[in-house]
Amino acid sequence: MRTSTASPSASSRRWCGERYLETPSRVSSTLAQRKNSNFGTGRPPCLPDADGVASSRRVPYNETRRSFAKASLSTSCDGVNTVGKNHVGSGCRRRKKPGGSVPGRRKPNPPEEEPSNESRDYSVRAVERVCSILNLVQESVDGVTLNAVAKTTQLPKSSAFRYLWTLENHRYVERDTDSGLFRLGLGFVGMQSRHLEVLRERARPWLERLRDEYDETTNLGILDGNAVIYLDIVESRRTVRLSVSNGHRDPIHSTALGKAIAARLPEDRVREMLAQAGMPGVTPNTITTPDAYLDELTKVREDGYAVDNAENEPDGRCVAVPILGTRLPAAISLSAPASRFAPEDVAKAAESLQKIADQIATPEERPERG
């Protein structure tokens, strides 16, 4: 029996560009696309017409890709929303049920109750260690050793050295190569010098006016560690007078300036300063116990001024008031020999000092230099 191979009938053979395409009479759009040998090769394929028969109409390539993407998504994402716009391979997004949650998505935990401000602790441990080191260094007049820093901060000696080495590189700490002691460096000078200069400029004309009124020495002092440092002095024109030089340091427990400043500090801070600096008896009238000194500060707060009755100089008397509203703990004072400055004159001088202190804290009202 001879087997002959008949050519396809004309009804089932359609001319597609450069060749004939064998196409069944009814075929789905998707199968026709996949069976087309030209799909994916870059050559525009021949798509079937609405009746399923291949057409010779050429379709742009990108339109063909969009057709396949829409067909695939409409089939595989039945009943759900499609994601993307005209992009092949776009995924499907599950339709959220009304009043419900997306299947498979973990529900978020309920928010925890936010702690109150009192229970929060925003401190950074490394920064606290740096502050502890700087406080230790600035409270020591002669400097501190590496062992003292390690013991105070409870750090290993190697870690304490790295902290100090870093501070030294930034000029906040300097090390004596001979003794190995660490002291405050010049890095703080630039930070404080401008504030000190502004305070001194404010106070100077008022100190001169007070000196002219009483013809006695007037002083401006600030707290520096555990002591008072004299920032500016306007000396009396008299031959016999009480006088110190700028930058001189005095204890806080034996001077009126020190009492006026310490009265504005917390009690625990004052006790700590007294314990570190000590309370030596400068004169027979010097207060030498912390409890007696704290009682004296209570009186200072009640009166509004502090008095030094021959506690720092054997024949000296001084009255001081704090300057409020400044960035630095500061005070001004009037000092004179006790023979010229009677106890009954102290209250009047304190009143003059209080008025001047208010003017120093308000630079807009300071007097012009005359």
Element (H, E) at 295: helix 290-303
CATH 3.30.450.40, the chain: domain bounds: 189-365
Q: What does the pLDDT read at residue 82?
A: 47
Q: Hey, what amino acid is at 6?
A: A
Q: Hey, what amino acid is at 51?
A: D
In words, the CATH class of domain 125-185 is: mainly alpha
Asked if residues 138 and 192 have their Cβ atoms less than 8 Å apart, the reply is no
Burial 127-155 (b: 16+ CB within 10 A, else e): eebbebbbebbbbbeebbebebbbeebeb
| Among candidate residues 310, 336, 340, 334, the one with its CA nearest the CA of residue 321 | 334
**In angstroms, how far is the first alpha carbon of the chain from the final one?**
139
Q: 189-365, what's its fold?
A: Beta-Lactamase (3.30.450)
Which parts of the chain sit beneath pLDDT 70?
1-119, 141-142, 186, 188-192, 362-370
Q: What is the pLDDT of residues 277-307, one digit of tens each?
A: 999 999 999 999 999 999 999 999 999 999 9
Asked if residues 318 and 284 have their Cβ atoms less than 8 Å apart, the reply is no
Q: What does the pLDDT read at residue 99?
A: 52
Strands 182-184 and 217-224: unpaired
Quote the pTM value: 0.52
Calpha distance 51→125 (Å, rounded): 79
CA 169 to chain centre: 21
Structure tokens at 161: 């050295």
Per-residue H/E/C for 156-176: CHHHHHHHHHHHHHCCCEEEC
Phi-psi region of 340 (alpha: psi -120 to 50; beta: other; left: phi over 0): alpha
In the chain, what is the greatest distance between 2 CA atoms, to the nearest angstrom? 154
